[in-house]
Structure 1
């Protein structure tokens, strides 16, 4: 697999000219490394893992702390208007980011993704539970322990190492500031098909996942997998097959206008 950063926002897998592009947005505190490992097995797409400032290859850059700033910076630097159809995948906070990027593309009159695949995040219009103290204001150790307690997913070596905790806390704090200061603004539903993934044992309920149908005029598919918030790590082979199936619909839809056709929402059964 060839890995190249082009542009700086993207770490990309092998070039596959005949395949649609898949842009992957990581969870809060995550990095492109979460998804670039998928590129070898996900042969139905050319995978591009999004690397936000302040982590991985961009550790020296200042982090972004608002959704509007993140969306604006991403769209200013990443070309999405070429002839090849593309889809977005985002997990947790990445789901919200991919949704807001799609709305910003529509507002700018730019080409939309042919499919939006969101994972482990409630529909954005739903009210969110607030903690007494916003997590992004907690000291480093308290922040990391709180996120680990709520969602898991933080490696034991990070929890055990003061140095790794410090490196992890900066992007994690920035991402939680984005999440905790985010305010959904009502707009017309997107003309883009939406695939929704989630873990059966996650705090995000099936009802919260199904509520994504309010954000599209096209079809919606909801699919749950065994596992918690990071089910996609626990069941990677099954998830990758499902992701390949979702991306496999992109070619046939792209020539019709990137998901412009409306249809009755559909729901799949849990798997």
Structure 2
């Protein structure tokens, strides 16, 4: 294993003698910042790492990836370098990052590399239908104001960004670059052989009602689907403590007592 640059794999929490690692992949228009607050939520003995895509944060000087293939290869190399035999890891991806985490797992499988104990995909439809109209939100053809409205309404765009013209310009540029990558995605027919946990928001306008069942068909291992309160990023409290909803971070077998697809979170309002 070759060490990844600290700008590519950002260590948000390191633990002496860590028993496991949570590796997070980003969403459209995002970086690693959204995962920083998880450092207080991961279980004891857990390292928290986040992969930074090209063109942002410590990799600002690099060009954005120009295609899904390029970004997936970059992300797979980062995950490969961030993990080591003897320390099991959970791979997490949110929104576009969910598809990326799935794709990275198929690439690691094909290469004979260390696979995640569990794959966790959050707020994304199953990729087997390819990119549908439902998945093209936000639409990269939208105006700057429309993209900013989507990011502030359904995303995690901080208020201070909207108050700064230079920051809003950078946010829109980053979002458009990631949407171009997302829109070049094609599903190649692969499945994974690792346990799969699907998370979705009860009020998410992007995710379809059949997402749990369709995702379940894309793994040959156990799977579960948890529906959580809120929209595309759940509620602020749910997002802040999301590692608490990942059983693989505490269970030795990775996905204990996997419930039937459509398992409802007890906090979800009737």
Under TM normalisation by the shorter chain, which class is it? 0.7 to 0.9
**For residues 56 and 230 of structure 1, do their structure 2 counterparts lie closer, same or farther at Cα, with a shift above 3 Å needed?**
same
Alignment of 1:1-271 (within 5 A): 6-12=5-11, 13-44=13-44, 45-77=46-78, 78-79=80-81, 80-127=83-130, 128-129=132-133, 135-138=139-142, 140-148=144-152, 151-187=154-190, 189-203=191-205, 204-231=207-234, 233-236=236-239, 239-243=242-246, 245-249=247-251, 251-252=252-253, 266-267=260-261, 268-271=263-266
Residue ranges of structure 1 left out of the alignment (5+ in a row): 254-258
Cα offset for 1:53? 1.4
* Separation of aligned partners in 2, 1:192 and 1:145: 37
SS at 1:175 equivalent: helix
Residue ranges of structure 2 left out of the alignment (5+ in a row): none
Cα offset for 1:238? 5.0
Cα offset for 1:88? 0.3
TM-score, normalization by structure 2? 0.83
**For residues 132 and 85 of structure 1, do their structure 2 counterparts lie closer, same or farther at Cα, with a shift above 3 Å needed?**
closer
Cα offset for 1:8? 2.6
Structure 1 contact 115–194 (Cα < 8 Å) conserved: yes
| Count of equivalent residues | 255
**1:31-60 residue CA offsets vs partner (Å, 9 max, x unmatched):** 111112212331242110111111122222
SS at 2:63 equivalent: coil
SS at 1:252 equivalent: coil
Structure 1 contact 26–94 (Cα < 8 Å) conserved: yes
Cα offset for 1:212? 0.5
- Greater mean alpha carbon deviation, residues 83-92 or residues 73-82: 73-82
**For residues 131 and 236 of structure 1, do their structure 2 counterparts lie closer, same or farther at Cα, with a shift above 3 Å needed?**
closer
TM-score, normalization by structure 1? 0.83
